Amino acid sequence: MRLAFWHRLSQPHLDTIFLFGDSLTQGGWQPYGFAQKLAYVYARKFDVINRGMSGYNTEWAIPVLEQVLVKKEVRDQYPKARIAIIFFGANDACIQPSPQYVPIPKFKSNLTHIIHRFTSTDSPFYSPETKIILMTPPPINTYQRGAELGARNPPQKLDREFNNTKAYADAVKEVAAAEGTVLVDIWEAVYDKAGRDEKALNKYLSDGLHFTPEGYAIVFDEIIKKISSELPELHHDNLKPVFPPWDQIDHKNPGSLKARTP
The string of pLDDT tens digits covering residues 201-222 is 999 999 999 999 999 999 999 9
Question: What per-residue string of b and e applies to 174-202 under the rule 16 or more CB within 10 Å gives b?
Answer: ebbeeeebbbbbbbbbbbebbeeebeebb
| Cis preceding-peptide flag for 154 (omega within 30 of 0) | yes
- Does 1 score more than 50 pLDDT? no
Of the pLDDT bands very low, low, confident and very high (cuts 50, 70, 90), residue 34 is very high
Position 117 scores a pLDDT of 98
> What are the tens digits of pLDDT across the range 56-91?
999 999 999 999 999 988 888 888 999 999 999 999
Identity of residue 68: V
Q: Tell me whether residue 8 is in a domain.
A: no
- DSSP 8-state assignment for residue 120: -
Q: Pick the catalytic residue from 92, 127, 185, 210.
A: 210
Helix (H) or strand (E) holding 46: strand 46-52
Domain that holds residue 213: 16-256
Q: Tell me whether residue 262 is in a domain.
A: no
Q: What is the mean pLDDT of the chain?
A: 93
- Does 110 score more than 60 pLDDT? yes
Q: Pick the catalytic residue from 23, 98, 123, 228.
A: 23
Q: Tell me whether residue 103 is in a domain.
A: yes
Q: Is 210 a catalytic residue?
A: yes
Q: Tell me whether residue 34 is in a domain.
A: yes
Helix (H) or strand (E) holding 107: helix 104-119
Q: Tell me whether residue 63 is in a domain.
A: yes
Distance (Å) of CA 173 to CA 103, 144, 146, 168: 16, 26, 27, 9
Percentage of the chain modeled with pLDDT above 70:
95
Q: Tell me whether residue 115 is in a domain.
A: yes
Q: Tell me whether residue 6 is in a domain.
A: no
pTM, two decimals, is: 0.93
- Does 260 score more than 80 pLDDT? no
Q: Are 215 and 221 in contact, with CB atoms under 8 Å apart?
A: no
Q: What is the mean pLDDT of residues 124-149?
A: 96
Dihedral of CA atoms 26, 31, 36, 38 in degrees, nearest 10, equals -120
Q: Is 123 a catalytic residue?
A: no
Residue 56's Cβ-side half-sphere holds a number of Cα atoms within 13 Å equal to: 23
Q: Domains in the chain: how many in total? A: 1
CATH number of 21's domain: 3.40.50.1110
Q: Are 191 and 139 in contact, with CB atoms under 8 Å apart?
A: yes
Of the pLDDT bands very low, low, confident and very high (cuts 50, 70, 90), residue 161 is very high
Q: Pick the catalytic residue from 13, 113, 207, 235.
A: 207
Q: Tell me whether residue 85 is in a domain.
A: yes
Name residues whose C-beta falls within 8 Å of residue 79's C-beta, 6 or more positions apart in sequence: 6, 9, 10, 11, 12, 13, 14, 15, 16, 47
